[in-house]
Each structure stands twice: as structure tokens, then as C-alpha cells.
């Protein structure tokens, strides 16, 4: 079998997605997600101009050799653009191999290790009361785990909180919008939020929270301590993780579990975090961390240190990424939880998929491959439109801060 063609499909059914489709001379094809929120065309160009020409004529079954060829062979290694491009190629090749074998991808990886994939949904509200209502509504929908984000008194716009009663979509404008931030207001407010939530939901519902890279290490330690009475499943991205050692300080002060890694794109980004057990969950995704082939290496390293996975699954990762992630999650021995933000109906129509939700879990389905396709004619009806993630500035002096 040879790769006969490969093309990049950029579309925007409510938000932008980049999809790589690889076709073979045996009539089989596979797709991979190459979406990098706010930088989509960089990955599309990297694939079109620099990767696709090297793929034509290669044996699609040589997944590992292709991965090494695109990683080591590029000379310029790592980074979100490169690794998202490699992730898309890798996912598409695993899709092809599973289709050629006539089995769902999880079987090729090693079979089922659990009955389904535990997921967490998103709840957000402008204030504590609305957020509590939303968390209760998610529990009514069958979620066993819910991430809660709320507005903060004194801040106009806060990460994770929808404006009005619309869906939450952060890439909201053709140039970066500006949010304001004040860590002290957030640090005073958040324990009150989870006090109210835990009182409302009781002890069984898993509660999660995303700090979104905004605190200093000692502030993150303070938050972790303040949240301990509420037994969170995890606090995510408490501080920027370029300096992995920063998490040693947080770890000294709190037992609140920590999840990091949705912005990571290689094992090198999290090696120290895992080997020192400074985190409890690694969040790297199939798309941004080089595909199934590399994510499997990250997960195997994590398993040595009792670190579990909690793959990123926001709506800016396409259903193709979700589909592939679910097969990975179903097989993986040290699976923790999977993020699940349902996509819009338009997105689901462009990406018909086999995965289903029931009883707080997602199930990848039994069709050969990863179980997700793309309707190219429908995709063409949703042309790309430039959209940026916001930037964040400190409220008191406009210093640029992590968004």
C-alpha cells in the first residue's frame, strides 16, 4: 500500500478546524486533526508546504518510521505547530491501519481496559449561584465529573465563562480581545465557589477547576490549600509550566491533585513533572502532542510514577481528535479522565462520528478506524475566518498576563 494523496481541509462550522486527509492506492483513507486554536493556518501551511510532499509514495503502515522521519528529519524539533502537524499525520495513519485490519483502533492498541471512558463536562456561570445551577444541570445530564468556572466579582470577563447565555467559545474575535485580571480577587472568590458547590452537590460528584496558567507558584499553593476541604478531582494549570520545578513548591503545600499539559507538545515538556511526581494528571492531547505514537510514550512514562492521563478535549480540538482520544483512553492502563465539551450540531454534521455518551462515559464505537469521518462538501460551506484567543492584562496596570 502507498500514500497516493494527502490534503488539508480548513473549515469553520461555528469555529475553525484543520483536518488532514491521507489517501492510499488501496482506496483506504484516514484523517487527523491539525487544529491549533488561533494559529490554524500555520499548521495548514506546515503540512501543505513541508509535510505532504514527503508523504506521497510512503507506506502508510510505517507509522513509527514516518513519525521519526517527520520529527528527527525536520531538524527543527518540537513546538505546537510542528507537533500538531505530526499529530495529524500520525492519527490519520493509525486510522488507515485500523481500517485495513478491519478493527476499531483501540483493538490495535491492545484492546479494552475498561467499560467506557469517564468524562468531565463543563459548567460555568456569571456568579456562584448560576454556576451551582449549571453544575447541578450537568449532573442531571448524567455527568459524574464537572469542571466549574465562574465569574469573579470585580472582573469583567474571566476565562471559561460564557458571555450572555451563549456557548463558551474563547476564540471570539478577528483580533485578540483583552480580558482583565486580578489574582487576589480570584483567590478570595474561588474557595467560596467550591464551598457552595460541595454543599450543593454532596461528596460524590467529581469537581474540577481550571486556573488557566494565571497564578504564581506560591499563589497556586495558597489556592490548593484553600480548596482542600472541597476534595477537588483536580486543579488544572495552576501556574505556567515552562519551569517544571515551580510545581515542587506547590506540591510542598497542598494535597489538592494537579493536572497540567494541554499546551505541551512533547514528552520533554513534562519529563520532570512526571518523574518527580509533581503532578497527578497529564493533559497532553493526541493532536498537539504528536499523535497516538508520541502520546503513548508520554502515558507509559507517566504510568511508572502513578500519573494518570486527563486528555484535553475542548471544542477547539475537533471530533477527529476526540474520536482518536477515546480509543486511546479505552486501551490505556493509566487512564484518568477525558475532557468532553460537546461540539455544535454544525460541527458534528461536518464530522460524523461513532462515539456516543451514556452514563457519564463516552464510548468510541466499534467501526474500523477511529470512527470519525469528514463531510468535505459540507465542510466547504464553512470557510475559514480568522479568530484569535484573547489576551489578558492585569487590571491595575495593564501588565500582559497569561490568559
- Name the residues that contact ligand CS2, by CB under 6 A: 37, 170, 210, 212, 236, 262, 314, 316, 339, 389
β-bridge mates for residue 282, sequence order: 260, 309
**Residue 384 Cβ vs ligand CS2, minimum distance, rounded to whole Å:** 16
User: Measured from the CB of residue 139, what is the shortest distance to ligand CS2 in angstroms?
Assistant: 19
CA 178 from centre of chain: 23
Which residues are known to be catalytic?
A: 159, 212
Tell the smallest beta-carbon distance from residue 325 to ligand CS2 (Å).
13
Query: Does an H or E element contain 259, and which?
Result: strand 258-260
How far apart CA 63 and CA 67 sit, in angstroms, is: 6
Q: Roughly what angle, to the nearest 10 degrees, separates helices 291-304 and 80-101?
A: 100
Render the burial of 92-108: b for 16+ CB within 10 Å, e for the rest. bbbbbbbbbeebbbbbb
Which member of 134, 210, 219, 280 binds Mg ion (CB under 5 A)?
A: 210
Q: Which residue, among 244, 370, 243, has the nearest Cα to 307 in the 3D structure?
A: 244
Nearer to Mg ion, 106 or 194 (CB): 194
Beta carbon of residue 298, minimum distance to ligand CS2 (angstroms, whole number): 17
Partner that binds at residue 339, options ligand CS2, Mg ion, none, CB closer than 5 to 8 Å by kind: ligand CS2
Which of residues 132 and 284 has its CB atom nearest to Mg ion in the complex?
A: 284
Residue 170 binding partner per list ligand CS2, Mg ion, none, with a CB distance cut-off of 5 to 8 Å that depends on partner kind:
ligand CS2
Query: Binds 95, which of ligand CS2, Mg ion, none (CB < 5 to 8 A, cut-off by type)?
Result: none
In angstroms, give the least distance from the CB of 163 to ligand CS2.
15
Identity of the residue, 210 or 373, whose beta carbon is nearer to ligand CS2 in the bound complex: 210
Q: Which does 280 bind (CB under 5 to 8 A by kind): Mg ion, ligand CS2, none?
A: none
Q: Residue 20 pairs with which residues in a beta bridge?
A: 8, 32
For the CB of residue 170, give the shortest distance to ligand CS2 in the complex, in Å. 5
Minimum CB distance to ligand CS2, residue 233 (Å): 13
Q: Which residues contact 241 (CB under 8 A, 6 or more apart)?
A: 213, 247, 260, 261, 263, 264, 269, 270, 273
* Stretch in the footprint of Mg ion (CB under 5 A) among 145-153, 167-175, 204-212, 252-260: 204-212
Here's the x/- map for Mg ion, 254-293, by CB under 5 A: it reads as --------x-------------------------------
Interaction between residue 316 and Mg ion (CB under 5 A): no
CA 323-118-212 angle, 5° bins: 85
Q: What angle do CA 6, 33, 270 make, to 5 degrees?
A: 125
**62/141 with CB nearer ligand CS2:** 141
Residues in the chain: 403
Which does residue 316 bind out of Mg ion, ligand CS2, none, counting CB within 5 to 8 angstroms by kind? ligand CS2
Q: Please choose, out of 3-11, 60-68, 206-214, 302-310, the segment that lies near Mg ion by the rule CB under 5 A.
A: 206-214
Binds 226, which of Mg ion, ligand CS2, none (CB < 5 to 8 A, cut-off by type)? none
In the bound state with ligand CS2, the residue whose beta carbon lies nearer, of 36 and 350, is 36
Are 373 and 195 in contact by the 8 Å Cβ rule? The answer is no
CB nearer to ligand CS2: give 172 or 180: 172
Q: Which grid coordinates belong to 75? A: 531538524
Residues 225, 250: contact at Cβ < 8 Å? no
CA distance 63 to 307: 26
Nearer to Mg ion, 20 or 235 (CB): 235
Burial of 234 (0-12, 13-18, 19+ CB in 10 A): buried
Measured in whole angstroms, the distance separating CA 15 from the mean position of its chain's CA atoms is: 16
Residue 57 — left, alpha, or beta (φ > 0 → left; ψ -120 to 50 → alpha)?
left
Residues that bind Mg ion (CB under 5 A): 210, 262
Amino acid at each position: 500500500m502507498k500514500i497516493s494523496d494527502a490534503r488539508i481541509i480548513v473549515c469553520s462550522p461555528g469555529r475553525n478546524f484543520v483536518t488532514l486527509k491521507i489517501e492510499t492506492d488501496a482506496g483506504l483513507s484516514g484523517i487527523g486533526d491539525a487544529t491549533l486554536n488561533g494559529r490554524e493556518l500555520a499548521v495548514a501551511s506546515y503540512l501543505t508546504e513541508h509535510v505532504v510532499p514527503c508523504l506521497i509514495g510512503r507506506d502508510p503502515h510505517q507509522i513509527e518510521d514516518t513519525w521519526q522521519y517527520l520529527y528527527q528529519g525536520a531538524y527543527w524539533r518540537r513546538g505546537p505547530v510542528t507537533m500538531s502537524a505530526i499529530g495529524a499525520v500520525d492519527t490519520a495513519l493509525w486510522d488507515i491501519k485500523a481500517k485495513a485490519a478491519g478493527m476499531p483502533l483501540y483493538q490495535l492498541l491492545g484492546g479494552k481496559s475498561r467499560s467506557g471512558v469517564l468524562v468531565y463536562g463543563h459548567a460555568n456561570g456569571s456568579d456562584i449561584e448560576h454556576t451551582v445551577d449549571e453544575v447541578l444541570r450537568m449532573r442531571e445530564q448524567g455527568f459524574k465529573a464537572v469542571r466549574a468556572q465562574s465569574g469573579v466579582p470585580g472582573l469583567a470577563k474571566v476565562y471559561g465563562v460564557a458571555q450572555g447565555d451563549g456557548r463558551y467559545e474563547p476564540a471570539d474575535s478577528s483580533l485578540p480581545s483583552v480580558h482583565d485580571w486580578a489574582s487576589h480577587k480570584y483567590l478570595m472568590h474561588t474557595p467560596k465557589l467550591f464551598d457552595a458547590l460541595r454543599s450543593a452537590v454532596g461528596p460524590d460528584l467529581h469537581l474540577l477547576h481550571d486556573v488557566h496558567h494565571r497564578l504564581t507558584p506560591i499563589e497556586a499553593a495558597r489556592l490548593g490549600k484553600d480548596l482542600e476541604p472541597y476534595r477537588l478531582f483536580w486543579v488544572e494549570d495552576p501556574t505556567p509550566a515552562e519551569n517544571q520545578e515551580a510545581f515542587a513548591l506547590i506540591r510542598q503545600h497542598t494535597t489538592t491533585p494537579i493536572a497540567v499539559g494541554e499546551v505541551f507538545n512533547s514528552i520533554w515538556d513534562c519529563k520532570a513533572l512526571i518523574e518527580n511526581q509533581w503532578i497527578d494528571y497529564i493533559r497532553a492531547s493526541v493532536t498537539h502532542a504528536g499523535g497516538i505514537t508520541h502520546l503513548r510514550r508520554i502515558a507509559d512514562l507517566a504510568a511508572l510514577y502513578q500519573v494518570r492521563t486527563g486528555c484535553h478535549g475542548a471544542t477547539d480540538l475537533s471530533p477527529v481528535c476526540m474520536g482518536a482520544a477515546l480509543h486511546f483512553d479505552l486501551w490505556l492502563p493509566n487512564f484518568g479522565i477525558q475532557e468532553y465539551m460537546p461540539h455544535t450540531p454544525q460541527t458534528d454534521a461536518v464530522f460524523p462520528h461513532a462515539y456516543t455518551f451514556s452514563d457519564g462515559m463516552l464510548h468510541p464505537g466499534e467501526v474500523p478506524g477511529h470512527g470519525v469521518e469528514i463531510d468535505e462538501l459540507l465542510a466547504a460551506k464553512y470557510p475559514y475566518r480568522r479568530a484569535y484567543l484573547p489576551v489578558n492584562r492585569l487590571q491595575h496596570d495593564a501588565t500582559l498576563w497569561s490568559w
